[in-house]
Amino acid sequence: MFRRRERVSDPVTIWFCDRAIEAAADDSVAAALLAAGIACFGRRPVSAAPRAPFCMIGNCFDCLVEIDGETNLQACLVPVRGGMRIRPYPGYEPGNDIKMSEL
């Protein structure tokens, strides 16, 4: 969906599930994931429909992720840090349709 205008001069590696992603040191987590082509940051609690960032300024809460075990973080507001481990929140893997109430 998005690509970088320039090559990353100071790359850091972050992880989304088991996937290593090259991010720029000053990216937000959301920007880094979008630049890597991640299209699903988690699932909605009612229908398990996929969600991804909508507003990028901390108002839509569709970018909520889990980072290094801490949950409910808005990916658009959190800067990346090398080695960060990011997972969709709540804990659905992309493509997994299990609803919260079925877990």
Partner 1 sequence: MSQDTSTDVVVVGAGPAGMTAASCLAQSGVRVLVLDEHMAPGGQVYRSVEKVTDKRSADLNVLGSHYRNGSKLVERLHSSGAQYWPGTSVWEISAAGEPTLAVGVVRDGRVRLIQAGHIILATGAMERPTPFPGWTLPGVMTVGAAQTLLKSSGLVPDGRIAVAGSGPLLYLYVSQLIKAGKKPQVILDTRPRASLQAKLSVLAALTVDPASMFRGLGWMREVRREVRVRERVHRLRAGGVEKLSSISYESCDRQFTDDVDLLLVHDGVIPNTWLAMSAGCRHHWHVQQRCWVPTITGAGQTSRQSVSVVGDAASIMGADASVLHGEAVASEVIACLEGKQQNAVGNAAHPFLVRQQRLLRRCLDQFYPPAQEFELPPDDETIVCRCEEVTAGQIRQVATLGCVGPNQGKAFTRCGMGPCMGRKCGVTVSRLIAEHHGLGMDEVGHYRIRPPVKPITVAQLAELEIDTDAHTA
Partner 2 sequence: MRHLDIAVIGGGLLGSAFAYGLSADGGRVGLIDEGDHAIRTARGNFGLVWVQGKGLSMPDYARWSRRSAYAWTPFSEQLHAQTGISVEYHRPGGFYVSLDEQEFADNLALLKQLRNEAGEDGYDYEIVERSALREQLPEIGPAVPGATYCPHDGHANPLKLLRALQEGFQLNGGVYTPRAKVTRIAPVTAGGFEIHCDGGHRFGCDKLVIAAGHGSVELGHHLDMEIPIFPVQGQVVVTERAQMTMAYPTNYVRQTDDGNYLLGPSARDVGFNDETETTTLRDITRRCTTAFPHLKHLRVQRTWAALRIMTPDGFPVYLQSEAYPEAFSFSCHSGVTLAAVHATDVSRWVLDGQIPSRYRCFHPERFNVPA
Residues in touch with partner 2 (CB under 8 A): 45, 70-72, 90, 100-101, 103
Residues 6+ apart with CB under 8 A from 57: 76
Selection from partner 2, partner 1, none that 98 binds (CB < 5 to 8 A by kind) is none
CA distance 100 to 71: 15
Selection from partner 2, partner 1, none that 28 binds (CB < 5 to 8 A by kind) is partner 1
Instruction: Figure out which of the listed residues 11, 15, 60, 91 binds partner 1, where binding follows CB under 8 A.
Output: 60
On whether the CB atoms of residues 11 and 21 are closer than 8 A, the answer is no
